[in-house]
Each structure stands twice: as structure tokens, then as C-alpha cells.
Amino acid sequence: MDWGGPSFVVAIIALSMGGWLINNWIRAKHGYALEDEWGGKTERTDSAETKRLRQENRQLHEKLDAMQDRMIVLEKIVTDRGYSLSEEIEALRDTGNGVPLDIGKKEQV
């Protein structure tokens, strides 16, 4: 191979351009700013579809955060040692301090 001929220079230029194109393709695929031939950056412009998806994603994250907060409150209620409402009701019925509920019984005349 002739290292001083024009074919070697053309091959180096072709490899450099190919590497630059592959680099920009990968950056565009992953959403990074693109680099032009002078080293400057070109930011991506969001399409209407991308903006809508970002807004929907933000709304879903807000809903998820609200649901997580509610779940934390429910877990605290359920795991709280004082959460024995039915036991407290039964204790009141047993002591006679509470008002007896005769829901299922009819008055006998």
C-alpha cells in the first residue's frame, strides 16, 4: 500500500466523516445536542407530539406522587396499634357503657 498517495488521504477523510456521522446519529437517537462540523451544538426542537408526551408524563408523575402519599397515610392507619375500632366497639358493648344496638331484633309485644 502506498502511504503517500491520494487514496490514503481520501480513506482517512472518509473514515473521519463516517465516525462523525455515526457519532451524531447515536447522539440524536439518545436525545443529546448534535454537534456541527465547527464544534458548535445544535439543540433538538421538540415536536408537538413530544411536548404532549412530556406533559402527559408530568401529569402521571403527579398522580403517582399523590397516590403514594395516600398509600403512606393508609399504611399508617392500618399499622397503627390504636387501630382496633371493632375491638373498641365490642369492649364498649361488653362493659355496658355504650348504647346497645338491637338492629337485627324486632320488638316483642
The stretch 38-63 carries a mean pLDDT of 82
The phi and psi torsions of 97 (rounded to 5 degrees) equal -75, -25
% of the chain with per-residue pLDDT over 70: 65
Cα 33 to Cα 7: distance, rounded to the nearest angstrom = 33
User: What pLDDT, on the 0 to 100 scale, is given for residue 100?
Assistant: 54
Other Cβ atoms less than 10 A from the Cβ of 92: the count is: 13
Predicted structure pTM score = 0.38
